[in-house]
Amino acid sequence: MLLTVLICTHDRAPLLHKVLESLNAALRPEEGVELLVIANNCSDETHDLLDDYVQDPAGRIPMRWLAEPQAGKSYALNFGLPHVRTPLLAFVDDDHRVDQNFLVSICRAAADFPDSALFCGRILPDWDGREPAWVHEAGPYRIYPLPVPRFDQGDTGCDLTAERAVPGGGNLFLRTEWVRRIGGFATDMGPSGHDLGGAEDLDWVLRAMGLGARLRYVPEVVQYHYVDTSRLTLDYLMRKAYKRTASIIRLHPESHTGSIPRYLYRKIVTYGFKAALSLRTDRRRYYLVRTAAALGEAAGHIGLRRARPAPGQLSGSDKCSD
């Protein structure tokens, strides 16, 4: 067995069913692949779905699943990592579906680039036509990033640096031997349930790169992210911008003082006034989201008065199997 696909899920049985279907529809590497699902504090039909899968394995990718009662994606990840028994590990989120060549492209990239420790591919929104038209606008007042993950560095593979682009955890595969070097995911970061927490994955990738891990972008590895239209509202955009910016500031405490810089006061006031005086809907939406992001940046600076989040502990084992 060469590859494990690790999926952490919380109360998303219908979406989990779709990602499992897409994985089983994908071409499989001859070296073998297995699924490892961590059910994180689930209270819906997730356990029944996983039991049914295991009890009727005919023609399906082999699966193991475990329950982690402690709510929080980082806890689920740290619980699952010691149970990986293959040389390669891929993370897939429970609201993704994978391309037909996803699995074989992972194994091919690992063989073609033996000096790379970490790899990432593309994540594209799974648009279905129900989304509002403004999400496709490309003018000066477009909202970016949208609360629909997208990672696309073009059609040509390349090495990535922290200065160029850092992928999220749902768009990552790596050599399992690196897990013990990186350590666990920070448990005071990341989502708990379906809240707006995040950045635990960026922190993990940056720690890996800080240890010398080489990151390779592989455009042939493609996933599609489910589009939740309830997130494409002004209220959600503002809350997400606030939380995202606050989390990202915490990733670089060495470059901040723990107090709010003067420029942020100017930014908050400027964006707020522009939003209040805007007559155009797209312009008002843009500056309201920018105001929320600036407020989140201020909150992030204040949060840096506390210690930087420590790596979480890998549950149940001090190392991962190769």
- Output the pLDDT for position 249: 76
- Amino acid occupying residue 146: L
Q: What is the helix (H) or strand (E) element at residue 263, kind and residue range?
A: helix 262-277
> What is the structure's pLDDT at 252?
65
Report the C-alpha gap between 112 and 269 in whole angstroms. 51
How many whole angstroms separate alpha carbon 99 and alpha carbon 237? Answer: 28
By CB neighbour count within 10 A (0-12 exposed, 13-18 middle, 19+ buried), where does 172 fall? buried
Q: Report pLDDT for 137.
A: 87
Q: For residue 117, give every residue at least 6 positions away whose Cβ sits within 8 Å of its Cβ, in sequence order, or none.
A: 174, 175, 178, 208, 213, 214, 215
Question: What are φ and ψ of residue 300, in 5° steps?
Answer: -65, -40
CA atoms within 13 A on the CB side of 13: 13
pLDDT at 193: 60
Q: Among 136, 117, 105, which residue's Cα sits nearest to residue 26?
A: 105
| CA distances, 201 to each of 52, 156, 167 (Å) | 30, 24, 8
CA atoms of 145 and 13, how far apart (whole Å) = 27
Specify which residues 234 forms β-bridges with.
Answer: none
User: What are the φ and ψ backbone dihedral angles of 224, each rounded to 5 degrees?
Assistant: -120, 130
pLDDT per residue rounded down to tens, the chain (322 residues): 899 999 999 999 999 999 999 999 999 999 999 999 999 999 999 999 999 999 998 899 999 999 999 999 999 999 999 999 999 999 999 999 999 999 999 999 999 999 999 999 999 999 988 899 999 988 999 998 888 888 999 999 999 998 888 898 889 999 999 999 999 998 877 666 655 566 788 889 999 999 999 999 999 999 999 998 888 999 999 998 998 888 777 766 655 566 788 899 999 999 999 999 999 999 999 999 999 999 998 988 887 555 455 566 776 544 444 4
The pLDDT assigned to 276 comes to 96
Quick one: 40 exposed, middle or buried, by C-beta within 10 A (0-12, 13-18, 19+)? buried
Q: List the beta strands (DSSP E) in the chain.
A: 3-9, 33-40, 63-68, 88-91, 96-98, 118-125, 158-160, 172-175, 215-225
CB 218 within 8 A of CB 105: yes
In angstroms, rounded to a whole number, what is the distance separating the alpha carbons of residues 319 and 274? 53
